[in-house]
Amino acid sequence: MNTNNNLYTIVYATLMVVATAAILAFVSMALKERQQKNIDMETQLSILSAVSLAADANSADDKIAYVQNEYDKYIKNSYLVNYKGETVPGDAFTVSLKSQYDLMKQIASAPEQEQEALKAKLQLPVFECTMDNGEKVYIVACYGTGLWGPIWGYIGLKSDFNTIYGAMFAHKGETPGLGAEIATPAFCAQFKGKSLFDGNTFTSIAIVKGGAEEGNPHEVDAVSGGTITSKALDASIRQWFEYYVPYLQLSAKAGNAPEETVPMAEILTEEETSVEQ
C-alpha cells in the first residue's frame, strides 16, 4: 500500500481512533469496579466516623477491606423513612443525599397545595449501629450548600432519639482554615451530648457566631471566619431534622429507647395519658 496517498492516511487515522477508543473503554471498565468500591468505602467511613468508629482506617494495609469489615460489624440495619416517619422501600446506603436536598428545596418553594405530593417523595436514610457495649445508635444524614460547594454530614443519636452521640461533617470545597473547619474533629466534637428537643419542642442544634451560650444544650460554636459555611450547615441540620422529627417521635414512642434515657418517650406517653383522662 502506498503510504503517501490519502486513502492510507484516512484508514490509518480511523484505525488509531478506534484502537484508542477501545483501549480507553477497557481501562474505564477495568477501573469502574475499583472506583465504586472507593466511593462506597468513603460513604461507609463517613457513617462510621459519626460515632467515632473505624479510627484506624488511614493506617490500615487494605483500607477498603478494613472499612467494609467495620461497617458490617457495627451497622446492623439500615432503611429509609418518609416525612411521616414510616419506613419505605429502598436502599439507605445508595439513596442520593443531593436528590433529597433538591427535593426539599422544591418543597420550600412550591405552592402549599403542591407540597404534600412532593413531601411524599422524600426518602431519608437511617443506619442502626450497635456499639461494642450493646448500645444502639441511630445515624441520620444531612446535606446542603456551603460557600463554594456541597456540605454534608452524618449525625448519631442515642436511643432516646434526642441526644446526639456524635457527628461528622464534610465538604467539597470550603476555604481551608475557615469554612473547611466544619470537617475537623474539634468542631464535630461539640455536638456530642447536645439535644434536639427542649421538652417536646424541636429546637435543632444552632451553630452560633460568636460562641454558644455556656451550658446551652442546643448550641455549638460557629467556625471562626467561616460565617457563611456555619450558617449553611446550621440551616442544613435544621432542614433535615425537621423531616426526621416524625421518625424520632414515633421511634421514641414505640419504646426503642431504654427507660433511663427516654425523655421524648416519657413526654409522648404523658401526653397520651392526659388525652385519655
What is the rounded average pLDDT for all residues in the chain?
89
Q: How far apart are the C-alpha atoms of 92 and 78, rounded to whole Å?
A: 6
**What's residue 100's pLDDT?**
98
Question: 265 CB contacts (<8 Å, ≥6 apart)?
Answer: 160, 252, 253, 255, 257
Residue 277 has pLDDT above 50, yes or no: no
pLDDT of 71 above 70: yes
Q: State pTM to two decimals.
A: 0.82
Q: What is the model's pLDDT at position 3?
A: 59
Please provide the DSSP assignment of 148-207 as one string. SSEEEEEEEE-TTSSBEEEEEEEESSPPTTTGGGGGSHHHHHTTTT-BSEETTEE---EE
CB neighbours of residue 192 within 10 Å: 14
Amino acid at position 268, single letter: L
Strands (E), the chain: 75-81, 87-88, 124-130, 136-145, 150-157, 164-171, 197-198, 201-202, 206-208, 219-221
Residues 6+ apart with CB under 8 A from 225: 177, 178
Q: Strand 206-208 to strand 219-221: parallel, antiparallel, or no bridges (unpaired)?
A: parallel
pLDDT score of 124 more than 80: yes
Check residue 35 and give its pLDDT.
Answer: 87
SS3 label, residue 79 = strand
Cell of 113: 397545595
Distance CA 17, CA 41 (A): 35
Q: What are 37-42's contacts with CB under 8 Å, separation 24+?
A: 37/64, 38/64, 40/93, 41/67, 41/68
Contact 107, 118 (CB under 8 A): yes
List the one residue out of 89, 176, 76 whose CA is nearest residue 132. 76
Question: pLDDT band for position 265 (50/70/90)?
Answer: very low
Q: Mean pLDDT throughout 70-89?
A: 97
**What average pLDDT does the segment 137-156 reach?**
98
Predicted pLDDT at 4:
63
Q: Which has more confidence, 20 or 230?
A: 230
Quick: pLDDT tens for 227-248: 999 999 999 999 999 999 999 9
Query: Residue range 42-48: average pLDDT?
Result: 98
Instruction: Note the pLDDT of residue 55.
Output: 93
Per-domain boundaries in the chain = 57-276
Residue closest to 102 by CA, chosen among 206, 241, 239 = 239
Which residues, at least 6 apart from 273, have a Cβ–Cβ distance to it below 8 Å?
none
| Confidence at residue 249, expressed as pLDDT on a 0 to 100 scale | 97
* pLDDT (tens digit per residue) in 212-230: 999 999 999 999 999 999 9
Separation of alpha carbons 102 and 150, rounded Å: 12
Whether the Cβ atoms of residue 95 and residue 123 lie closer than 8 Å to each other: yes
Task: Dump pLDDT digits (tens) for 153-208.
Answer: 999 999 999 999 999 999 999 999 999 999 999 999 999 999 999 999 999 999 99
Q: Is the pLDDT of residue 57 over 70?
A: yes
State percent of the chain over pLDDT 90: 78
